[in-house]
Amino acid sequence: MLVYTYGLKKTDTIVLNYVDTRVGPATSIADITVTEEEEPMGYVSPIVGNPSALTHWKPQTALWTDRVITVPVPYCYDREKMQGFRGTRYPNGSVTGDWGAMCIMPLVGEVKIKAKERASAFSHDTEIAKPHYYAVQLDDYNIKTEFTAAVKTAFFQFPFPESEQASLLFDVDYLSGIFRVIPETKPV
């Protein structure tokens, strides 16, 4: 299991075992603004990240454009397909926008660019959602995805099955944002 616990004491990690960050996410059907009374929908996602981290990461089961309103809560518990894993600065419990977000998705076989086309079936039975760690089995690709919190981003692990066509897709198409691949930089 890939778990980065920078700054956590042993007692903190024991308490985290009781937390399930999938509690609270729901889609909204209301056209609300921050000045109106909000529905008790939660507006939360199973975010993995350190408190006040530069970026948080979360699973994505829906694009923000799938909503009646453009609240960018990308995780809905009732969805059956995983579209990828989003790096975000969206604060849980708020109806603010998400700027500069990026989604990554491990793939085996033909590369599919569109989120709904590349989406993989998954089961909540294989999903683990903690504030410091997330894991899920992508059934269509036979890839167990794991990521854990870091101060500025997250550490990912994608054990790919044997294949001649394995790839990692970086999706910045649905919201403005940029990323840079630096091949000469290698992990420690």
CATH of the domain at 68: 2.70.98.10
| Structural domain includes residue 77 | yes
Domain that holds residue 91: 10-171
Bridge-based pairing of strands 81-82 and 102-108 is: unpaired
| Structural domain includes residue 24 | yes
| Structural domain includes residue 32 | yes
Confidence of residue 69 (pLDDT cuts 50, 70, 90): very low
| Structural domain includes residue 141 | yes
| Structural domain includes residue 115 | yes
Number of domains in the chain: 1
pLDDT, tens digit (0-9, with 9 covering 90-100), for 118-168: 999 999 999 998 888 899 999 999 999 999 887 777 889 999 999 889 999
Mean pLDDT, residues 91-96: 55
Mean pLDDT, residues 72-100: 73
| Structural domain includes residue 162 | yes
| Structural domain includes residue 3 | no
Question: Distance from first CA to last CA of the chain, Å, rounded?
Answer: 18
Its pTM surpasses 0.85: no
Q: At residue 51, what is the residue type? A: P
| Structural domain includes residue 70 | yes
Query: Range with the lowest mean pLDDT among 33-42, 68-77, 116-125?
Result: 33-42
